[in-house]
């Protein structure tokens, strides 16, 4: 590692998707305004590029969001993924979500929003029509009880770490400096509440602006900044909910089966769409033959083709609120999910598609998943830290990898512009009661 500068205008904490994207777009914004850049932008990471959540993410790029504000971010993001699919390792194989009747209205709403925004998708409703549509994709599709299907034609997935290295390459080509092995240990403040310097294991760095893109470590950085871990939230019903936990940590449950990827193709011999489906049908274990879900109990799985087979996941596990949870020490990237998940997920694959019958035996026990740090309402915070005028916080609430466009909008905000895309995710929404609508999804990020 080369010697760190003792002062820099913009210091970005974290070399994951948000830190890298912000650095890349920020240098472009500066150049567009005719400003010298040089060593203006420094990205630091305590480990390496994509060493955390961005480097082990499932990599799904979708616009399947009930909340209009989330859809606006994904519209921006997909435009960027499409701009250089080779550099970003983006595969535009599409995305299909199939759900039971309780989510019919949600899916209709998502489709109508996408249609109004020009995001091409196909809506299919009715149990038999959904089944017939899926049979055109996979002749051995066999899941029943699904009444709504949304097929997003511009969505897909990107390979995680290669995609991050692609963004890093673009940032470096524009002159952004990226230093790894640099751990932030604290902050020095000035009288007006702004940060004067960032303390690191390599010494202090004086700064004008700090951008926090620390992924699941955002809670720890939040504490270093002296910010509250409990806040009051005004509900949509006008009731004040006092002392709500700012952060909740969830263990992501993801894994893979190791098969010849050519065995998992569409009826036309093409790369299959990314799939997600929720169901209330009985889920029968491929391992024990027992039913895994309670009667009418909602369950769901998602999956995609991967380099060595099929990779995907299910709903995460709540770990509570402690900021002492170390995403790197106990989970990401070293945590291996247990047998219960492997049984549920592979049984879900077999429930959906006949060719996955018996795939539990092909489950590949490797480190996967990780830890997500969710906000009090499970939606992101993109805003200046409360009371700290020169620290911008990107807290993605585990929606992160797909949102490559957040960095572009953050760069605009740092130039003094207003971002209508990021405004709905301001910190003050909790006090104002301007919260995002909640869907009927079983996942915490819905």
pLDDT per residue over 95-112, tens digit each? 999 999 999 999 999 999
Tokens of 47: 């480990």
What pLDDT does 89 receive? 97
Beta bridge partners of 320: 249
Whether the pLDDT of residue 60 is over 70: the answer is: yes
Strand bridging mode 370-374 / 363-364: unpaired
Tell me the torsion sign for CA atoms 365, 59, 151, 105.
positive
Question: Distance between CA atoms of 394 and 425, rounded to whole angstroms?
Answer: 10
Question: pLDDT exceeding 70 applies to what percent of the chain?
Answer: 94
In 254-338, which ranges are continuous DSSP H helix? 327-330
1-91+157-232+379-446 adopts what CATH topology?
FAD/NAD(P)-binding domain (3.50.50)
Which pLDDT band, with edges at 50, 70 and 90, does 364 fall under? Answer: confident
The mean predicted confidence, pLDDT, of the chain is 92
User: What is the C-alpha to C-alpha distance for residues 203 and 244, in angstroms, rounded to an integer?
Assistant: 35
Cα–Cα distance for residue pair 214/18, rounded to 1 Å: 8
pLDDT level of residue 92 (50, 70, 90 thresholds): very high
Q: Where are the beta strands (DSSP E) in 235-377?
A: 240-245, 248-258, 274-279, 299-306, 309-320, 363-364, 370-374
Closest CA to 244 of 347, 375, 89: 375
Q: For residue 282, give both structure tokens.
A: 């009985």
Contact yes or no for 314/345 (Cβ under 8 A):
yes
Q: Which of 207, 92, 206, 232 is nearest to 155 (CA)?
A: 92
Token pair 């997600």 in the structure block, residue: 276
Q: Note the pLDDT tens digit of each residue in 229-275.
A: 999 999 988 899 999 999 998 888 889 999 998 899 999 999 999 99
pLDDT tens-place string over residues 288-340:
999 999 888 899 999 999 988 999 999 888 888 865 555 554 444 445 677 88
User: Would you state the pLDDT for residue 331?
Assistant: 40
Cα–Cα distances (Å) from 25 to 17, 196, 430, in that order, read 12, 24, 29
Residues 208 and 7 sit within 8 Å (Cβ to Cβ): no
| Whole-number pLDDT of residue 445 | 67
Give the pLDDT confidence score for residue 324 in this predicted structure: 58
pLDDT tens digits, 135-174: 999 999 999 999 999 999 999 999 999 999 999 999 999 9
* Side-chain-side CA neighbours of residue 12 (13 Å): 34
Q: Where are the domains of the chain?
A: 1-91+157-232+379-446
Average pLDDT estimate for 76-84 = 97
CB burial of residue 83 (10 Å; 0-12, 13-18, 19+): exposed
């Amino acid at each position: 590692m080369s010697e760190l500068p003792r002062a820099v205008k913009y210091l970005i904490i974290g070399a994951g998707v948000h830190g890298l994207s912000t650095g890349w777009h920020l240098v472009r914004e500066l150049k567009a305004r005719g400003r010298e850049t040089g060593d203006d932008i420094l990205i630091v990471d305590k480990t390496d590029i994509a060493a955390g959540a961005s480097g082990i993410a499932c990599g799904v790029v979708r616009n399947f969001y009930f909340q209009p504000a989330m859809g606006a971010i994904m519209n921006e993001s997909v435009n960027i993924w499409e701009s250089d699919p080779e550099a970003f390792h983006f595969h535009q194989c599409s995305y299909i979500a199939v759900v039971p009747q309780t989510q019919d209205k949600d899916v209709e709403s998502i489709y109508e929003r996408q249609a109004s925004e020009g995001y091409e998708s196909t809506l299919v409703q009715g149990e038999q029509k959904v089944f017939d549509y899926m049979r055109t994709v996979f002749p051995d599709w066999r899941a029943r009880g699904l009444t709504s299907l949304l097929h997003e034609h511009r969505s897909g997935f990107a390979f995680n770490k290669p995609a991050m290295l692609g963004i890093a390459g673009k940032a470096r080509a524009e002159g952004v400096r990226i230093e790894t092995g640099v751990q932030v240990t604290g902050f020095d403040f000035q009288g007006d509440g702004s940060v004067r310097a960032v303390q690191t294991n390599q010494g202090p760095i004086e700064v004008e602006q700090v951008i926090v893109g620390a992924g699941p470590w955002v809670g720890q950085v939040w504490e270093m900044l002296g910010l509250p871990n409990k806040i009051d939230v005004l509900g949509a019903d006008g009731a004040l909910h006092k002392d709500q936990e700012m952060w909740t940590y969830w263990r992501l449950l993801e894994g893979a089966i190791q098969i010849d990827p050519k065995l998992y193709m569409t009826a036309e011999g093409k790369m299959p769409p990314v799939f997600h489906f929720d169901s209330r049908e009985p889920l029968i274990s491929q391992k024990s033959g027992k039913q895994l879900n309670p009667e009418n109990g909602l369950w769901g799985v998602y999956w995609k083709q991967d380099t060595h087979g099929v990779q995907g996941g299910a709903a995460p596990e709540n770990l509570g609120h402690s900021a002492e949870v170390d995403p790197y020490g106990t989970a990401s990237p070293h945590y291996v999910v247990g047998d219960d998940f492997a049984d549920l997920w592979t049984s879900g694959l077999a429930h959906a598609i006949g060719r996955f019958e018996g795939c539990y035996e092909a489950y590949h026990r490797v480190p996967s998943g990780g830890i997500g740090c969710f906000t009090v309402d499970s939606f992101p915070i993109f805003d200046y830290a409360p009371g700290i005028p020169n620290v911008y916080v990107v807290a993605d609430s585990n929606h992160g990898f797909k949102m490559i466009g957040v960095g572009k909008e953050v760069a605009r905000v740092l130039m003094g512009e207003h971002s209508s895309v990021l405004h709905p995710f301001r910190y003050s929404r909790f006090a104002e009661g301007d919260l995002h609508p909640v869907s009927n999804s079983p996942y915490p990020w819905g």
